[in-house]
Amino acid sequence: MMDQEAFLSTNVSKLNQQLEKQRRKNLGLELELMMAGCTEGMDLHDLKHIKNPSESIQFLEEMMASVTSEIEHAENENNA
């Protein structure tokens, strides 16, 4: 049986993981909204609401790498 300290520590760890996952999801949604606004002619001065630009850039780079990987995988399947 788990003691109270270990139980709370485990729960805090799980909640921190959920929080980080939700933060990433929210960042993705914010960036999606920003990109949609840019395609609709939104002024770039409206982008000042982005709290952490470097985190946004990293997230976009990860998305681009994921898409590139999927494209390469699909090309390899088509060539096989």
Q: Is the pLDDT of residue 13 over 90?
A: yes
Q: Which DSSP symbol is given to 48? A: G
Entry pTM? 0.58
> Cβ distance 22 to 57 under 8 Å?
no
Task: Write out pLDDT tens, residues 33-66.
Answer: 877 877 777 766 666 666 677 777 777 788 788 8
**Dihedral in degrees, nearest 10, Cα atoms 19, 24, 28, 34:** 80
